[in-house]
Amino acid sequence: MIKFRNTSIITQRIIRGPFQRFFSIPKNDDTKKSPTAIVLLNLGGPSKLDKVEDFLTRLFCDPDLIPIPFQKTFGPIIAKRRTPKIQDQYAKIGGGSPILSWTQKQGKAMEKLLDEINPETAPHKSYIAFRYTSPLTEDTIIQMKKDGVKRAIAFTQYPQYSCSTTGSSLNELWRKSELFDSEQSIQWSMIDRWPTHPGLIEVFANHIQTSLQTYPPEVRDKVILLFSAHSLPMVVVNRGDPYISEVSATVHAVMERLKFSNPYRLVWQSQVGPQPWQGPQTVDAILGFGKRGENNILLVPIAFTSDHIETLFELDLEYGHEAEKAGIKGLKRVESLNDDPVFIKAMSDIVKKHLDSGKVTSTQLLLRCPMCKNNSCQKAREFLLRQNI
């Protein structure tokens, strides 16, 4: 019997020679390269009807999104009252939000393309961190640690920055990292906005042109392009939030790409509650144009990167029904970006340029709103500045 107890590793390998197949030499797991994580941040949506109330409770308890007095008390009450209505809306679009499915498809296609165009940081692995539903930020951080992730990019899926959306997700990332990665094993950087990226503008313009082809030639250049974005409470706008100007920048860049072929307006949807919100509201604009005899209106969801309740129910069903009642026959909607290859290419290019830059985040993110009183915003930015990528 051959004994190896007092022999060196090299001697053991020499002695084993022909007997190699009878022995199990452990492989060095350290040779496996840690993946570069790209974490897609978004609001999310309930995938099933029984998840609606929990989703709404998280949403109405978030002061970054909807600031209301006595939020911890009234937020759950408002959510419970609105649950039956919102469940009915989700039931009409298939029983749940498709945003998780679309985000998964986008992430998988993006990571595959990134491995090709940026092999230096491969392998790339996409994750999802939703703000109000699973997978939540803490779920994603825990999974990333299990996967051995050391380097991560938080990639907002809101092209235009708002404290209510990207800002809220960043604040949550800081809070949950403190709890679930207190040793800071994951080094973060952030893509916080991309309102005029050429690929984003190209895919919007392509979709608009495709939709315009469905109108008769004699009216095609007279179709009103109604760019619709999620609205904000005026208290957020007046605080200095950059969202309104960044959405406007996207619209202008798209129209430049289209050579200002059609008349257009920027309008706002999804107002909640009695307090003042940015207007005009999309449905009011549709009906207002209808009263003036404008029959051909093309809706463009300019602040969304995939289909969800705001496109499938609000724009398509709710506003479509109102337009039909008003006798507006030519109302249509541009197809959402979803997994369009041009959009996937844009996402990949954004990540590559961010990786190449070596920056933790944009200069713009470090500038807080002039009237901001939220201490979490400052701590979240300090969290990013502490990163050593």
232-269 residue pLDDT tens: 999 999 999 999 999 999 999 999 999 999 999 999 99
- Cross-sheet strand order for the sheet of 151-156: 124-130, 36-42, 151-156, 187-191
Distance CA 310, CA 268 (A): 11
Give the pLDDT mean for 108-127: 97
Question: Quick check: do 36-195+342-385 and 198-333 share a fold?
Answer: yes
Per-residue model confidence (pLDDT) at position 65: 78
The pLDDT of residue 273 is above 80: no
The pLDDT of residue 125 is above 60: yes
- Domain ranges within the chain, ordered by starting residue: 36-195+342-385, 198-333
Distance CA 381, CA 47 (A): 31
Catalytic-residue membership of 197: yes
Distance CA 51, CA 87 (A): 9
Report the mean per-residue pLDDT for the chain: 91
The pLDDT of residue 22 is above 80: no
The pLDDT of residue 20 is above 80: no
pLDDT category at 389 given cuts 50, 70, 90 is confident
CA of 371: how far to CAs of 18, 131, 240, 309, 375, in Å?
75, 24, 6, 32, 12
Tokens of 76: 């759950």
Tokens of 150: 């050391």
Per-residue model confidence (pLDDT) at position 275: 85
Lowest mean pLDDT among 18-32, 51-65, 199-213, 321-335: 18-32
pLDDT category at 132 given cuts 50, 70, 90 is very high
Distance CA 123, CA 140 (A): 18
Per-residue model confidence (pLDDT) at position 29: 43
Which member of 197, 207, 308, 354 is catalytic?
197
The pLDDT of residue 187 is above 90: yes
The pLDDT of residue 137 is above 60: yes
Residue 190, C-beta contacts closer than 8 angstroms, at least 6 positions apart: 153, 154, 155, 156, 170, 360, 361, 365, 384
Fold for the domain defined by 36-195+342-385? Rossmann fold (3.40.50)
The one-letter amino acid at 303: A
Which member of 307, 316, 349, 354 is catalytic?
349
Catalytic-residue membership of 339: no
Residue 302: strand, helix, or coil: coil
Question: End-to-end CA distance of the chain, in Å?
Answer: 53
Fold for the domain defined by 198-333? Rossmann fold (3.40.50)
Q: Rounded to two decimals, what is the model's pTM? A: 0.88
Asked if 195 contacts 346 with a C-beta cutoff of 8 angstroms, the reply is no
